[in-house]
Amino acid sequence: MANSIEANCLLCMQRSDIFRNLNDNELHSVNSCRVSIKYHQGEILFKQGSPCHDFVCITSGMVKLYLESESDKRIIIGFVKPVDYIFVPGAFTDKRHHFTAVACEETTACLVGSDVFQQIVEANSAFSSAFLNKISEQAIRMFEQLSSLTHKQMPGRIADVLLCLSQKIYNANPFVTSLSRQDIADMSGMTKESAIRIMKTFKDDNLIRTEGDLIELLNIPLLETISRNG
């Protein structure tokens, strides 16, 4: 395996909680069909609507997940960072991908055949239970996003996105991002122009500072108030 960056799954185990629930046999079957692949920025890991064959775990870089609509509009539903896996609901139902995954930057991912994975889920209850916890968190995040996108006006939605990026995605305050304004617009359900305009007003009001790919939140309490007031 030319692209493989880890010798086996043990390295991953130290970081991705869910694999702690696997025994040696299970780990071996995962490892034996594991493939590590490198993606360049903008490359697609899998596409909405396509059949899902593999369980995907991100080992470096970052991936964005988005829904595509008929009218070519996108909505970003989440990001996946190392070491974490992409929960693909279609793997348990119609074997189709229901969103698209794209590398935001140079990214490496381990792929494991979803049949192997599925067998383990069905056999190992600690594993599937850990999986349940993970999905539950994701469901709760989806509720928050749905609430934000449908009930808040643009300033509240942009505030939500900026706080999310700083506090959940990058875990840093000035943070450097590879996301474009279009991506931020896709996260907050508006056009690129509107996202830029709102960010401009935030800059004018000294709520944030931007410099190239860097964004700094200067007044988090006020951003939180804007988020709360919608």
Partner DNA sequence: TTCAACCGATGATATAAATCATCAGCTTAA
Partner DNA sequence: TTAAGCTGATGATTTATATCATCGGTTGAA
* Closer residue to its own copies, CB minimum distance, 35 or 75: 75
Given its own copies, DNA, none, residue 181, with its beta carbon under 5 to 8 Å by kind, binds DNA
Cβ-count burial 69-82 (b if 16+ within 10 Å, e if not): eeeeebbbbbbbbb
Structure tokens at 48: 């909405």
Query: In Å, what is the CA distance from 63 to each residue of 4, 163, 221?
Result: 19, 19, 29
Q: How far is the CB of 208 from DNA (least distance, A)?
A: 11
- Our finding on whether 125 is near its own copies (CB under 8 A) is yes
Given its own copies, DNA, none, residue 220, with its beta carbon under 5 to 8 Å by kind, binds none
- Which listed residue (35, 67, 163, 222) binds its own copies by CB under 8 A? 67
- Which listed residue (9, 57, 83, 91) binds its own copies by CB under 8 A? 91
* 8 Å CB contact between 19 and 27: yes
- Our finding on whether 11 is near its own copies (CB under 8 A) is no
Q: Order of strands across the sheet with 35-39? A: 35-39, 107-113, 54-60, 84-85
One symbol per residue from 128 to 167: x for binding its own copies (CB under 8 A), - otherwise; what is it? xx-xxx-xxxxxx-xx-xxx-xxxx---------------
Query: In Å, what is the CA distance from 34 to each residue of 1, 57, 90, 163, 223?
Result: 9, 10, 20, 36, 43
* Closer residue to its own copies, CB minimum distance, 19 or 59: 19
Q: How far is the CB of 53 from DNA (least distance, A)?
A: 28
Q: How far is the CB of 35 from DNA (least distance, A)?
A: 25
Residue 113 makes CB contacts below 8 A (sequence gap 6+) with 33, 53, 54, 55
In the DSSP assignment, the letter for residue 96 is B
The site for its own copies (CB under 8 A) is made up of 67, 69-71, 73, 75, 77, 87, 89-93, 98-99, 121-126, 128-129, 131-133, 135-140, 142-143, 145-147, 149-152, 189, 228-230
